[in-house]
Chains A and B, each alone.
Chain A
């Protein structure tokens, strides 16, 4: 009866501690809490009952085996948690790189095409707005948002034709995924604090900069 009480008590104690952290999202807090509670139970349990075994050899075997188990578990927790954190950060970095790369590519390319059309045109002082619209009119949607198929469905990057006049074209890019430098920055869409870049083409060239 006493032995059942120990095992039942240990199970209950570890289970309660396991469920102390928030039970949503990451599992690491629960696993660490539960493992610490279980190791504490094991230490108390072994300390209370091992002395009932009079054979020194047997006690040593049990102690060494449980020590190996405990140390391996701690090493496993450290390695896996380290890798989890690294992998999560890596995926975040890859996503950021893709988002920034897409913004650069999708803004620079149409602006450069307009720049090239400007200097290839036989006219003396071509109209940049006309050149841009003649090539990209099909991509200009509601609210002057530029639509590119490469963005895919449910994309988080939004590009807007901000300025289109005879000597200047400006495209603004805003990311719904990346945070900007200034959380109070007012973005083009009306939201605030998001990553925003802009590209401008004039007859002097293309300038691309991050504004937030």
Chain B
């Protein structure tokens, strides 16, 4: 009676892949960080640490970061020298043996398993990180750009606020409001009218953004809006200039008391 034994040639690969996955999961679960050997990730970590030092102290650190260097070198040696070499040499050796079937399919030799496990580990580590990074990075950049725009608008609004408060106090004979936003002496004839953006716009540093004043209903309170190009948190937000959804910041100028404060209720 002939008994045919099925040969699953993918079995040794599956075994090596499971070992590699188990090692990655164990390292993640126990947080040992021994296997953080992705060379690019280690280089990025060092750049981040240097940038943070420069941010805090004004001077970038010039340390050797030996731990990260050792991890990066270990990763390069494992993924491109040791792993592939062991795998290829063991394949050459196994290739000279008679064709394996049944249970013998798993008998590839320790060097084969070591080499292939290292290769599987490298692919399981690099591919997901690279894909996720490719997806996350554009979102991070957009978020950072929005925050950057908000910072620049905030800076301009602060300057506009102080200039408006100055105009409030400046005597009418010097082109100001003599204690009012409603009666600013403008132009060569000194005609009295409410303060306008052109009276204070000389302090704007970033003309890419839109600034406008809210309708003036009070002598001593002025609201100034700054509107950016990017979409804010609420895409349906009604901006002060009639548009919808754009980043908007608002500052209230109260020269008699707080001078300026940011009106969060009109912010997007």
* Chain A interface residues (CB < 8 Å from chain B): 3, 6-7, 10-11, 14-15, 18, 23-28, 30-31, 34-35, 38-39, 41-42, 45-46, 49-50, 52-55, 58, 62, 65-66, 68-70, 72-73, 75-77, 79-88, 90-95, 97, 100-101, 104-105, 108-109, 112, 115-116, 119-120, 154, 156, 176-177, 203-206, 208
* Chain B interface residues (CB < 8 Å from chain A): 38-44, 46-48, 50-52, 54-55, 57-58, 60-65, 68-69, 72-73, 76-77, 79-82, 84-89, 91-92, 95, 119, 122-123, 126-127, 129-130, 133-134, 137, 140-141, 144, 148, 151-152, 154-155, 158-159, 162, 165-166, 169-171, 174, 179, 203, 255, 259
For the A-B complex, the count of residue pairs with Cβ-Cβ distances under 8 Å equals 220
Are the C-beta atoms of B63 and A72 separated by less than 8 Å?
A: no
Are the C-beta atoms of A14 and B88 separated by less than 8 Å?
A: no
Question: In whole angstroms, what is the CA distance A180 to B77 when docked?
Answer: 45
Are the C-beta atoms of A38 and B169 separated by less than 8 Å?
A: no
A210 and chain B: residue at smallest CB distance: B205
Are the C-beta atoms of A94 and B55 separated by less than 8 Å?
A: yes
Are the C-beta atoms of A31 and B72 separated by less than 8 Å?
A: yes
Min Cβ gap B27→A in Å is 18
Name the prevailing secondary structure of the B interface residues.
Answer: helix
B52 and chain A: residue at smallest CB distance: A91
Name the prevailing secondary structure of the A interface residues.
Answer: helix
Contact of B73 among A15, A54, A94 (CB under 8 A): A15
Contact of B42 among A7, A25, A31, A91 (CB under 8 A): A31
Are the C-beta atoms of B166 and A84 separated by less than 8 Å?
A: no
Min Cβ gap B127→A in Å is 6
